[in-house]
Structures are given as C-alpha cells and as structure tokens.
Structure 1
Amino acid sequence: MTKKELKKLRNELPRGYGRILSEITGKHFNAVYRALKGETNSPEIIQAAINLAKQEKEKKAKIQKQIKSL
C-alpha cells in the first residue's frame, strides 16, 4: 500500500487504534504504528486495520440512522 492509502486508512480508524489493533494482532503497538505509517510491511496488521475501519464505518452509519429516526 502507498503512504497515501495508509493515511486514508488511519483516518478511518477510531481513536486509540494502536492499542486495539495491538490486542487483536498480538503485536506491539509500535509495530502497529510503523506498519500503518508504511515503515514496515505487515499484511496481518493491515488486514486487521481494514476490518476495524469497516466496523467503525458501520458503527457510524448505524448511529447516524438512529439520529435521523428521532
């Protein structure tokens, strides 16, 4: 992934994503940050980040839907 794509991915992640992804992958949070900055290559971390971003997007959409129904 390019650095631009990684930046877009990071922007979609929730606050505290380093700790969350560290718990999911079992990797140190520094490894998570390095992978998402493009300094190292870790497909496991990138895939976990993509899954977390999708969950976050679905969560936001559900909240917006609930707000509209008020």
Structure 2
Amino acid sequence: MENLAYYLPLLLCPLMLVMVFFFMKRMSDGNNSNKSEPNGKDLQKNMNHLMEQNQKLMKEIDSLKRSQ
C-alpha cells in the first residue's frame, strides 16, 4: 500500500499532462475557427471607403488652412 501511494503521483502526472495538451489543442482550434478572414471584395470595399474618407479629410484640411 505504501508503494501505491508513492507510484500513484508518478502514474498520474503523464496522464494529466496528456489531458492538458488535449484541452489546449481544443481551445486553440476553437479560436481559429471563429476568425474568418475577409475576402477580396470586402477588403476592396473597405479600401475604397477609407480612400474616400481620406480625400474628404484632405479637402477639409486644405479649406481650414486657407481660412486661417
């Protein structure tokens, strides 16, 4: 019985390590599936929108500089 108390932690340690790796892998797989990469059309729309905003802001800056 004393030997069992000595060897039990040694036997449980690798099993717990395998379980931890398993759960870590499941967690990382779940995070990757939730993130969807934007497609080319969405990126192009966003880029066009940002360029339009940039043009408007540049015009506004120019008008503010002229008014000073």
State the TM-score bracket (shorter-chain normalisation). Answer: 0.3 to 0.5
Q: Work out which structure has the larger RCO, using CA pairs closer than 8 Å and 6 or more positions apart in sequence.
A: 1
Q: TM-score, normalised by structure 1?
A: 0.42
Larger Rg: 2
Q: Which TM-score applies when normalising by structure 2?
A: 0.43
Quick check: which one's helix share is greater?
A: 2
